[in-house]
């Protein structure tokens, strides 16, 4: 145990999408089997910009993409020491149940119920015993800002795997926000040909500058016909319209990855006859498991994905609420990393 821990800390709590407050909380003390981590960098997730999704969870301490250093150990913790630099996952599976045995980690009851305390955007984070199974030691050279991208990059690794993206794939990414751009970069790194679609011209330019082969606006039907159809379409936005656009752009026998849910209770009308005769595979890809976290950390360690590609805002805790508002406004704001110097 460390003797120098403060009693109080600050954390960013979201009450509603336009009401975020910095609150003082007690610094949790690790019990047997638990770790305490001092947060050094923590990303704001694009998923937490979906009003209906984040309101379902509110009030909550925002954030689930933290990296930091171990400052205290509960009794009996093995494999970690004070001073270790780590990336944390908000959820970790049991590795033993039927879901875990077939690699469907996000459906493991332990994965669903595990959580970091109090959340990712807090000065200190308690890592419960269950979460240690997906707490990753960082390569020595990897900075904390890059390490904080492990979880979002893991979601991309899972999505590309489920979509079957390989070096011969022709891929279309719909939506070129931070997660869309990470898909573009990672699919290109696999050798795929990658195009992108977004209404926002600045985001399209960003995709081109990074490595996209071609980009266009969703209302440019001629460009879509010229470049398509695609073996794999990654649909970023969670709307029936975006899902249908993804299916339309997909080649017969191809795969559409649904990366974001539509709002709860919203029904999506699909042309079942066309879907059937064209043999389009629809693949939802929700969050990421420990296997994806390890792959993501490797990509970050090798510099395949970097903060420079998608991070447009770096703030301290005091600037985090404004940065969240800028992300919600979209446009030229992509990813925010909250840094804890
Ligand atoms: Zn996230
Ligand atoms: Zn399990």
**Using one digit for the tens of pLDDT, what is the confidence trace for 18-58?**
999 999 999 999 999 999 999 999 999 988 988 998 999 99
φ/ψ of 65, rounded to 5, equals -130, 55
Q: Is the pLDDT of residue 2 over 70?
A: no
Which ligand lies nearest to the CA atom of residue 156 in the structure? 1
Q: Are 23 and 144 in the same domain?
A: yes
Which ligand lies nearest to the CA atom of residue 289 in the structure? 2
**Nearest 5 degrees, angle CA 255-CA 256-CA 261?**
150
Q: Are 132 and 164 in the same domain?
A: no
Assigned domain for 197 exists: yes
Ligand 2 centre and the CA of 97: distance in Å? Answer: 4
Q: Domain limits at 269?
A: 156-284
Ligand 1 centre and the CA of 4: distance in Å? Answer: 32
Beta-sheet pairing, 8-16 with 60-61:
antiparallel
Q: Are 162 and 120 in the same domain?
A: no
Q: Are 30 and 126 in the same domain?
A: yes
Ligand 1 centre and the CA of 7: distance in Å? Answer: 29
- Reported as a pLDDT band with limits 50, 70 and 90, residue 198 is very high
Q: Are 139 and 193 in the same domain?
A: no
Ligand 1 centre and the CA of 239: distance in Å? Answer: 18
Q: Are 42 and 140 in the same domain?
A: yes
Which ligand lies nearest to the CA atom of residue 42 in the structure? 1
Q: Is the pLDDT of residue 190 over 90?
A: yes
Ligand 2 centre and the CA of 332: distance in Å? Answer: 39
Which is it for the CA torsion 221, 227, 228, 234, positive or negative? negative
Assigned domain for 86 exists: yes
What is the per-residue pLDDT across 5-25, written as a single tens digit (0 to 9) for each? 999 999 999 999 999 999 999
Ligand 1 centre and the CA of 186: distance in Å? Answer: 17
Ligand 1 centre and the CA of 130: distance in Å? Answer: 19
How many domains, the chain? 2
Q: Are 112 and 175 in the same domain?
A: no
For residue 207, the SS3 value is: helix
Q: Are 108 and 178 in the same domain?
A: no
Q: Are 247 and 278 in the same domain?
A: yes
Q: At what angle do helices 150-163 and 178-189 cross, to 10 degrees?
A: 60
Instruction: List, in sequence order, every beta strand (DSSP E) within the chain.
Output: 8-16, 19-26, 35-44, 60-61, 66-73, 85-88, 124-127, 135-137, 170-174, 193-197, 214-216, 230-235, 250-258, 281-284, 311-315, 335-339
Q: Are 124 and 248 in the same domain?
A: no
What is the per-residue pLDDT across 277-317, written as a single tens digit (0 to 9) for each? 999 999 999 999 999 999 999 999 999 999 999 999 999 99
Assigned domain for 141 exists: yes
Which is it for the CA torsion 333, 337, 338, 341, positive or negative? negative
Residue 4 is predicted with a pLDDT of 84
H/E stretch holding 145 reads helix 144-147
Beta bridge partners of 9: 25
Which ligand lies nearest to the CA atom of residue 151 in the structure? 1
Contacts of 251 (CB under 8 A, 6+ apart): 170, 228, 229, 230, 231
Ligand 1 centre and the CA of 6: distance in Å? Answer: 29
CATH number, domain containing residue 317: 3.90.180.10
Ligand 1 centre and the CA of 63: distance in Å? Answer: 8
CA nearest neighbour of 43 among 118, 124, 192, 152: 152
Average per-residue pLDDT in the chain? 96
Residue 108 is predicted with a pLDDT of 98
Q: Is the pLDDT of residue 136 over 60?
A: yes
Assigned domain for 95 exists: yes
**Nearest 5 degrees, angle CA 275-CA 281-CA 285?**
130
Residue 286 is predicted with a pLDDT of 97
Which ligand lies nearest to the CA atom of residue 293 in the structure? 1
Which ligand lies nearest to the CA atom of residue 154 in the structure? 1
Ligand 2 centre and the CA of 104: distance in Å? Answer: 8
Averaged pLDDT, 71-93? 97
- Reported as a pLDDT band with limits 50, 70 and 90, residue 3 is low
Q: Are 116 and 31 in the same domain?
A: yes
More confident site: 3 or 40? 40
Assigned domain for 76 exists: yes
Contacts of 74 (CB under 8 A, 6+ apart): 30, 31, 32, 33, 34, 35
Which ligand lies nearest to the CA atom of residue 103 in the structure? 2
Assigned domain for 1 exists: no
**254: its two tokens:** 């191809």
CATH number, domain containing residue 196: 3.40.50.720
- Reported as a pLDDT band with limits 50, 70 and 90, residue 184 is very high
Assigned domain for 293 exists: no
In whole angstroms, give the CA distance from residue 177 to residue 182: 9
Ligand 1 centre and the CA of 272: distance in Å? Answer: 32
Assigned domain for 104 exists: yes
Q: Are 219 and 196 in the same domain?
A: yes
DSSP 250-293: EEEEEEEEE-SPPPTT------HHHHHHTTPEEEE--S--HHHH
């Amino acid at each position: 145990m460390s003797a120098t821990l403060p009693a109080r800390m600050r954390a960013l709590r979201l009450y509603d999408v336009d009401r975020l407050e910095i609150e003082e909380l007690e610094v949790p003390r690790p019990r047997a089997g638990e770790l305490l981590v001092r947060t050094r960098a923590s990303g704001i997730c694009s998923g937490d910009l979906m009003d209906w999704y984040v309101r379902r969870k509110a009030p909550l301490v925002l954030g689930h993409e933290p990296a930091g250093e171990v400052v205290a150990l509960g009794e009996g913790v093995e494999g970690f020491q004070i001073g270790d630099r780590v990336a944390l996952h908000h959820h970790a599976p049991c590795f033993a149940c039927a879901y875990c045995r077939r690699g469907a980690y996000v459906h493991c009851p332990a994965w669903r119920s595990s959580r970091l305390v109090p959340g990712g955007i807090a000065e200190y984070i308690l890592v419960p015993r269950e979460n240690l199974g997906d707490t990753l030691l960082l390569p020595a050279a990897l900075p904390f800002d890059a390490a904080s991208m492990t979880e979002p990059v893991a979601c991309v690794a899972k999505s590309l795997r489920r979509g079957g993206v390989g070096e011969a794939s022709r891929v279309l990414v719909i939506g070129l926000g931070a997660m869309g751009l990470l898909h573009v970069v990672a699919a290109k790194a696999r050798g795929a040909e990658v195009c992108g679609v977004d209404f926002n011209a600045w985001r399209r330019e960003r995709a081109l500058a990074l490595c996209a082969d071609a980009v266009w606006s969703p209302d440019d039907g001629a460009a879509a016909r010229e470049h398509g159809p695609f073996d794999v379409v990654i649909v970023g936005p969670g709307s029936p319209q975006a899902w249908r656009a993804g299916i339309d752009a997909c080649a017969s026998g191809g795969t559409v990855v649904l990366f974001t849910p539509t709002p709860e209770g919203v029904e999506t009308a699909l042309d079942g006859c066309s879907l059937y005769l064209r043999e389009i595979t629809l693949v939802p890809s929700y969050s990421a498991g420990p296997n994806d976290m390890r792959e993501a950390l490797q990509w970050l360690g090798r510099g395949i994905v970097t903060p420079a590609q998608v991070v447009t805002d770096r703030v301290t805790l005091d600037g985090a609420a404004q940065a969240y508002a800028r992300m919600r406004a979209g446009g030229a704001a992509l990813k925010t990393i909250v840094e804890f110097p």
